[in-house]
Amino acid sequence: MEEATLIAAARQGDTQAFDQLVRLYQSAIYNVAYRILGDEEAASDATQDAFLSAYKAIGKFRGGSFKGWLLRIVTNTSYDQLRRKKRQPTSSLEAVYLDSAPPWAENEEPEEYALHQELGRIIQRGLSTLPPEQRIALVLSDIQGLNYQEIAEVMDTGLGTVKSRLSRGRATLRDYLLAQGELLPPRYRLKVERHV
């Protein structure tokens, strides 16, 4: 079924149509929440809250990008969680990574798997050092692939603000990653010939 048809049916109270919309977008919505929050459980909660909010508000959806509308909801939900977490700190980011294993790593050699795990931890730690507005802009741009206009709509801000947040966030993340040393697994590194 086409997205527009599913949205129209969901607006009429068809829960099965809304369930299909959830299945279409749950991975992208969870990914945004996870990258913003850095915690699997918090991301699951934010994803669930975002879809519940979307279900309640689907009658207010006025067209345009449905995915963008959902991303705005999950971004706001995640941002609310960050504010609550700041007031009441919980567990460390390290505890999450010790228990999690990405599914794409199943066929890798142990050393390559360990390097990917470490790279993921370092990138997520770097993202978590950014102010929430910069982190959200980076996740929407560099992970979700949204353009500046779409990010401005999701974040309800101007294009100049989006560009500024991305520029500052990327510079800060770049500096953080450079301070970590070599991050890429050996097979992805550039081969440098040395002349003696």
The domain spans of the chain are 3-183
- Check pLDDT > 50 for residue 101: no
- Check pLDDT > 80 for residue 105: no
Q: Hey, what amino acid is at 174? A: R
CATH of domain 3-183: 1.10.1740.10
Q: What is the DSSP string of 40-106?
A: HHHHHHHHHHHHHHHHHHGGG--SS-HHHHHHHHHHHHHHHHHHHHHHS--S-HHHHHHH---GGGT
Q: Hey, what amino acid is at 82? A: L
pLDDT at 80: 87
Q: Could you tell me how far CA 50 lies from the centroid of its own chain?
A: 13
pLDDT at 90: 45
- Check pLDDT > 60 for residue 103: no
Give 122's pLDDT tier (boundaries 50, 70, 90). confident
Question: Measured between alpha carbons, how far is residue 57 from residues 6, 8, 12 in Å?
Answer: 15, 13, 12
Mean pLDDT of 146-172: 94
Give 120's pLDDT tier (boundaries 50, 70, 90). confident
Give 110's pLDDT tier (boundaries 50, 70, 90). confident
Per residue in 127-148, pLDDT tens?
Answer: 989 999 999 999 999 888 899 9
Other Cβ atoms within 10 Å of 6 Cβ, number: 19
What does the block give as tokens for 47? 């994803």
**CA 184, CA 133: separation in Å to the nearest integer?**
27
Share of residues in the chain with pLDDT > 90 (%): 53
Range of weakest confidence among 76-80, 103-107, 109-113: 103-107
* Greatest mean pLDDT among 55-69, 76-90, 105-119, 172-186: 55-69
- Check pLDDT > 60 for residue 106: no
Q: Are the CB atoms for 158 and 69 separated by under 8 Å?
A: no
Given the structure tokens 């953080």, which residue do they identify? 176
**CA 67, CA 62: separation in Å to the nearest integer?**
13
pTM of the model: 0.71
